[in-house]
Structure 1
Amino acid sequence: MRILAAMSGGVDSAVAAARAVEAGHEVVGVHLALSRAGGTLRTGSRGCCTIEDAMDARRAADKLGIPFYVWDFSERFREDVIADFVSEYQAGRTPNPCMRCNEKIKFAALLERAIELGFDAVCTGHYANLVDGEGGLELHRAADNAKDQSYVLGVLTAEQLAHTYFPLGSTPTKALVRAEAAERGLTVAQKPDSHDICFIPDGDTKGWLAEKVGTATGDIVDREGNVVGSHEGAHAYTVGQRRGLHLGIPAADGKPRFVLEVRPVSNTVIVGPKEALATALIEGARYSWAGAAPVESEFRCHVQIRAHAEPVPALAVLSDGAVTVTPDEPLDGVAPGQTAVLYLGTRVLGQFTIDRTESAVPVG
């Protein structure tokens, strides 16, 4: 096959490209330039799209003896990922930019261009597996549960899966990938993993949002409507947050309080006890299936609401253009805007963006 290897500059994508070459495929490496303000180098292990990363990717491609290109996707990234991130926070939701990047950039814009240029598939260093099932190609968890990335790939469709290649999915541990990179002479063998949001490399999401949308003083209130503090912008808060509230009035029971809800229209943040974060139901109308869609409109599954959260047994119901999921036990601290990924065993069934939640602990 003709394979376009997306090379981030990290060890995973470098080894994935190497395995594609070793498997006999015709491989071309490409690094995505996602920012036009690329004059800064990586600090520590934050980010994944710096000039330093592009240079690391080029060195890996040279070592593998494959052609290498840098493609400018900065405008598409700005519109589909960064602008979406800002607007979601302004609407009081908690977005996942990595999900949007996979959906809109790596497996939409990149894959579209790859197919136009005659490539059969895009290869990445994600830890996930593709399996031929009765209903067609299926997306499954990786062998290494600690590194499994099937959650952030839950946005992929059947058509996209048909043109995707994940060489690392069956590797038992990340340590083996690093050892293989060293054996192959790849200089990124011990390069730290990237983390945090790549376009906020210093990790200060609150400060970054304040620069983008400004500040506006508002109230922090408890579930009964009593003002217990103030803030400089509701967009800087997310459901489940405890740190940085600086409440002027302590709770009657002396226990910590957490963000329960963000109301952007009134610029209000609602806080309450930890037990009030328990969520009995989630619902969303923006959903997709990673392969064949469920046959029944009501089915048992597991639901996962964060990349490294434990999956929870649940009942899913498709009705009136939306997916409603009722977990067997309450979910903890779910925010609108988060992505819920549905599993059947190790298989990813699909995903939806959470629009509505219902608390398991009513007021009063």
Structure 2
Amino acid sequence: MRVVAAMSGGVDSAVAAARAVDAGHEVTGVHLALSRNPASYRSGARGCCTVEDSNDARRAADVIGIPFYVWDMSEEFHDDVVTDFLDEYAAGRTPNPCLRCNERIKFAAVLDRAVALGFDAVATGHYATLVDGAAGREMHRAVDPAKDQSYVLGVLTAGQLEHALFPLGGSLKTDVRAEAGRRGLLVADKPDSHDICFVADGDTAGWLSEKLGDDAPNRGGEVVDDVTGEVLGTHGGSWAYTIGQRRGLRVGRPAADGRPRYVLDIEPVSGTVRVGGRERLAVTRLRADRPRWCGPAPDGPLRGTVQLRAHGREHAATVRVVDDHVDVELHEAAEGVAPGQAVVVYDGSRVVGSATIVATDRAEHAARADARPADERARA
């Protein structure tokens, strides 16, 4: 096959490209320029958008012996990832830009361009595995649980998986680094990228404050006790908070029971941030929209698991597809679940699909509902 190897400048994508060559594919390395001014994005070779990263990718391609090009995706990245990130925070939600980048850039814009140029597939350094199942290509978790990235790939459709290659899914990260060293790749010991690549100094709250500006509707507001309604303090922008956050609340005085307070809810119109005890973070149900299925959608209740964060644990759950949204019943309560996050659905190790969380029900609300008379519950 003719394969585009997306080379970020890190060790994983370099080894993935080399393995694609070893598999007999005709490989061309491509680095994505995601900013017209790379210095405005993360520096110090800690992201995937810097000049250093582009140079590292080019050197790796030279060592592997494949053609190398830089594709300018800065306009698409700004419109589909950065602007979306700002809009979501302004609306009081907590997005994951890596999912959006995979969905709209790496496996939409890049794949579309690659196919138009006559390529058959896109190979990346993501840790996930692909197998051919009865209903077509399936995506499963990686062998290395510490590096598994199936959560951020849960936005891929069945059609996109047919044109994807993940050469590292069956390997441990330690083995990948050792292989890079044996191949003479200078990125063998390069640190992994982390944080948000387009926030140059890692200060997400400060970056949001600068970008959203003084005219944002939720520029300032009150920090309120969720039980008593007491105003505990004020803030300069609700985008500095996310559900489940404990540090940086600056409410001035402790709770009556002396225990820490956590962010429970963010009201984007008024800018009100509601806080309370940790027990009030527990969520038992959630609703999600914009589902994207990695294969056939469930045709009935699916008793499987869901993952709610990129590095979070699995939660046993029953998932139901209702019209154009997904209802998830968690078998045990989860904490810190925020609208805007993705819920990724698994059936064993297989990734079924994902959706964007729009609403949650706290465990205490469910308990109160179950305590109602049976005839009232039936009418609800």
Cα deviations by residue, 1:310-339 (Å, 9 ceiling, x for unpaired): 111111111132100001001111000000
Cα deviations by residue, 1:163-190 (Å, 9 ceiling, x for unpaired): 000100011x111101100100000000
Q: Secondary structure at the residue paired with 2:28?
A: strand
Corresponding residue for residue 314 of structure 1: 317
1:292 to 1:85, Cα distance in 2 relative to 1, 3 A: same
Q: Secondary structure at the residue paired with 2:332?
A: coil
| Contact kept in structure 1, 2:41 and 2:199, CA below 8 Å | no
1:45 to 1:36, Cα distance in 2 relative to 1, 3 A: closer
Q: C-alpha separation between the residues in 2 aligned to 1:329 and 1:15?
A: 39
1:298 to partner: Cα distance:
1.4
Corresponding residue for residue 265 of structure 2: 261
Corresponding residue for residue 112 of structure 1: 112
State yes or no: 1:81 paired with 2:84: no
Cα deviations by residue, 1:227-251 (Å, 9 ceiling, x for unpaired): 0111001122110111111112321
Corresponding residue for residue 220 of structure 1: 223
Alignment of 1:68-147 (within 5 A): 68-147=68-147
Q: C-alpha separation between the residues in 2 aligned to 1:110 and 1:176?
A: 28
| Contact kept in structure 2, 1:220 and 1:230, CA below 8 Å | yes
User: Given residue 200 of structure 1, which amino acid in structure 2 is its aligned partner?
Assistant: V
Q: Secondary structure at the residue paired with 2:364?
A: coil
1:45 to partner: Cα distance:
5.5
Point out 4+ residue stretches in structure 1 off by more than 4 angstroms.
Answer: 40-45
Q: C-alpha separation between the residues in 1 aligned to 2:229 and 2:320?
A: 34
Corresponding residue for residue 364 of structure 2: 361
1:42 to partner: Cα distance:
5.8
Corresponding residue for residue 303 of structure 1: 306
Q: Secondary structure at the residue paired with 2:187?
A: coil
State yes or no: 1:151 paired with 2:160: no
Corresponding residue for residue 347 of structure 1: 350
| Contact kept in structure 2, 1:283 and 1:325, CA below 8 Å | yes
User: Given residue 320 of structure 1, which amino acid in structure 2 is its aligned partner?
Assistant: D
| Contact kept in structure 1, 2:295 and 2:352, CA below 8 Å | yes
State yes or no: 1:209 paired with 2:233: no
Identity between Structure 1 and Structure 2 (%) = 62
User: Given residue 343 of structure 1, which amino acid in structure 2 is its aligned partner?
Assistant: Y
Q: C-alpha separation between the residues in 1 aligned to 2:39 and 2:82?
A: 19
User: Given residue 349 of structure 1, which amino acid in structure 2 is its aligned partner?
Assistant: V
| Contact kept in structure 2, 1:340 and 1:352, CA below 8 Å | yes
Q: C-alpha separation between the residues in 2 aligned to 1:7 and 1:314?
A: 36
Q: TM-score, normalised by structure 1?
A: 0.97
State yes or no: 1:330 paired with 2:329: no
Corresponding residue for residue 168 of structure 1: 168
1:45 to 1:246, Cα distance in 2 relative to 1, 3 A: farther
| Contact kept in structure 2, 1:228 and 1:247, CA below 8 Å | yes
| Contact kept in structure 2, 1:301 and 1:313, CA below 8 Å | yes
Gaps of 5+ in 1: none
1:292 to partner: Cα distance:
2.2
| RMSD (CA atoms) | 1.4
Q: Secondary structure at the residue paired with 1:285?
A: strand
1:41 to 1:289, Cα distance in 2 relative to 1, 3 A: closer
1:225 to partner: Cα distance:
1.4
Corresponding residue for residue 371 of structure 2: none
Corresponding residue for residue 13 of structure 1: 13
Gaps of 5+ in 2: 369-380
| Contact kept in structure 2, 1:45 and 1:195, CA below 8 Å | no
Query: Please, which moves more after superposition, 104-113 or 353-362?
Result: 353-362
1:299 to partner: Cα distance:
1.6
User: Given residue 183 of structure 2, which amino acid in structure 1 is its aligned partner?
Assistant: R
Q: TM-score, normalised by structure 2?
A: 0.93
| Contact kept in structure 2, 1:143 and 1:170, CA below 8 Å | yes
| Contact kept in structure 2, 1:46 and 1:201, CA below 8 Å | no
Corresponding residue for residue 30 of structure 2: 30
Corresponding residue for residue 55 of structure 1: 55
| Contact kept in structure 2, 1:257 and 1:272, CA below 8 Å | yes
1:41 to partner: Cα distance:
8.7
Q: C-alpha separation between the residues in 2 aligned to 1:159 and 1:272?
A: 44
Q: Secondary structure at the residue paired with 1:151?
A: coil
User: Given residue 130 of structure 1, which amino acid in structure 2 is its aligned partner?
Assistant: L
Cα deviations by residue, 1:161-217 (Å, 9 ceiling, x for unpaired): 00000100011x111101100100000000000000000131100000000112533
State yes or no: 1:231 paired with 2:235: yes
1:40 to partner: Cα distance:
6.3
Q: C-alpha separation between the residues in 1 aligned to 2:313 and 2:353?
A: 17
Q: Secondary structure at the residue paired with 1:137?
A: strand
**Number of residue-to-residue matches in the alignment:** 362
| Contact kept in structure 1, 2:35 and 2:41, CA below 8 Å | no
Corresponding residue for residue 278 of structure 1: 282
Cα deviations by residue, 1:11-70 (Å, 9 ceiling, x for unpaired): 000000000111111000000000011246964553221000000000000111111000
